[in-house]
Amino acid sequence: MAVYDPKSPHADEFINHEEILETLAYAQAHKDDLDLCRRILAKAHPNVAPKQEHCTCITHREAAVLLACEDSGINAEIKQLARDIKLAYYGNRIVLFAPLYLSNYCVNGCLYCPYHAKNRDIPRRKLTQDEIRSEVIALQDMGHKRLAIEAGEDPKHNPIDYILESMQTIYSIKHKNGAIRRVNVNIAATTEDEYRMLKAAEIGTYILFQETYNRARYEELHPTGPKSDYAWHTEAHDRAMTAGIDDVGLGVLFGLEGYDYEFAALIMHAEHLEASFGVGPHTISVPRVKPAMDIDPDTFDNGIPDEVFEKIIALIRIAVPYTGMIISTRESQSVREAALQYGISQISGGSRTSVGGYVEEARPHDTEQFDVSDQRTLDEVIAWLMQNGHIPSFCTACYRAGRTGDRFMSFCKGGEILNYCHPNALMTLSEYLVDYASPKTAELGWSMIQSELAKIPDEKRRDLCAHNIDDIRNGIGRDFRF
């Protein structure tokens, strides 16, 4: 039997099934101990946590106790603490991105995904480099600066060379004032050599969702194809980090398995990356299974209500305070509105989940990976963020200045967000307002920028930021960053 070891390179040891079951039993045994819950919450308080060296503030066992606790007072404290941590470490910025679906060819048999190989009804499509160019121009014309590329796994149709060439194409397009400055990649688990190639092609974050951490359930849900190998998939982030990719993203597809199991394992995965590589995950995504062609989420029987979903988000924020958290347009406006308060730091906007969806006028639903709940345009999302007190940010500075991996984490822990990320957010928002915003959004934006400038603590930096923003408005300069 595998023994729990957070530093082990073997999936069954760092995501150890027995340790998860013991964690869940411990959580059930202690969930009514309100003093313990308060002591755990106190450990994660922003006044205490910045002095800590690790990416995690509380252990997976402690986090599991909080998740199991049903006390309404503790649950209110959890949400408040998540809000406080969010503001202390991230401020009120929200980073924007869009997914770009390159190809839906796939050889895997994932039961929850419409791209599965046996789906004969879905039209298969792979973008040519010219089509990618058109998609990227459409995305740049919306105002996007950061993309996450998505593809099914298919060595024949989507080999690594295709992904690399596509990244090169995306980075090369400079349409009007547009530019994609960071390309994150969400493709299937691959070899260390291929991760090295992605690093050389200037990948932003390598994102790979675990789907489910429960090996038995994983094997049921992935009956065929290379993705059916649980260890290969679960150890992929290790291979990516060994190959030099500093920023890796984790995620669970909530709804496939019991959420308490997934949550404990997700925190264990973060602990493992920290123990093995000295740096935790750069991001954690929280997708929930959605309806799609050939897919009915109810068949998985583990759907989580919005309230539990919000609590999970708040607890991830508390347990792993320096890790960015991503929510996509799988979720509705109202769910996203709540999630933003409890710790989400990145959202997608104006998304299409179909191959070629940004160019084609009538939305081609037939190649979609999942139904998009939040169908608003990027401009509407930007206005809504500002109306809710969030600064929309198109910043990609950390990655371009080499502040990735542990350098980003120590920057974040050192409390530099207000002197760097905050002005960078305001400057990139200014570019958006000048180039792409509707008059209503622009009006909201310029007034927000005025009041937010005052929050930059360092006077010189504040003045320089204001000066740069004037230059952007007057068309004299752009792409400034701290």
- What mask, x for binding ligand SAM by CB under 6 A, covers residues 226 to 265? -x-------------------------x------------
Q: Which residue in 347, 21, 58 sits closest to 213, CA to CA?
A: 21
Amino acid (1-letter code) at residue 308: V
Does residue 188 interact with ligand SAM by CB under 6 A? yes
- What mask, x for binding ligand SAM by CB under 6 A, covers residues 319 to 348? -----------x------------------
Q: Binder to ligand SAM among 112, 259, 358, 480 (CB under 6 A)?
A: 112
Site for ligand SAM in 381-400 (CB under 6 A): none
Cβ of residue 186: shortest distance to ligand SAM, in angstroms? 5
Q: Binder to ligand SAM among 24, 163, 179, 187 (CB under 6 A)?
A: 187
Does residue 295 interact with ligand SAM by CB under 6 A? yes
Query: The tokens of 376 are what?
Result: 């608003």
Q: Binder to ligand SAM among 287, 324, 343, 350 (CB under 6 A)?
A: 287
Q: Given the complex with ligand SAM, which of 249 and 343 has the nearer CB atom?
A: 249
Cβ of residue 125: shortest distance to ligand SAM, in angstroms? 13
- Can you list the pairs that 18-26 forms with residues at least 24 positions away whose Cβ atoms lie under 8 Å? 19/268, 20/213, 20/261, 20/264, 20/265, 20/268, 23/60, 23/61, 23/64, 23/264, 24/64, 24/68, 24/260, 24/261, 24/264, 26/61, 26/64, 26/65
Q: Binder to ligand SAM among 11, 113, 265, 395 (CB under 6 A)?
A: 113
Cβ of residue 371: shortest distance to ligand SAM, in angstroms? 8
d(Cα 252, Cα 209) in Å, to the nearest integer?
6
Site for ligand SAM in 11-50 (CB under 6 A): none
Beta bridge partners of 149: 100, 185
Q: What angle do CA 304, 306, 309 make, to 5 degrees?
A: 65
Q: How many residues bind ligand SAM (CB under 6 A)?
A: 21
Q: Given the complex with ligand SAM, which of 370 and 480 has the nearer CB atom?
A: 370
Cβ of residue 40: shortest distance to ligand SAM, in angstroms? 30
Q: Which range in 16-24, 208-216, 374-382, 417-425 contacts ligand SAM by CB under 6 A?
A: 208-216
Q: What angle do CA 35, 38, 41 make, to 5 degrees?
A: 155
**Interface residues toward ligand SAM, by CB under 6 A:** 112-113, 150, 152-153, 186-188, 208-209, 211, 227, 253, 287, 289-290, 292, 295, 330, 369-370
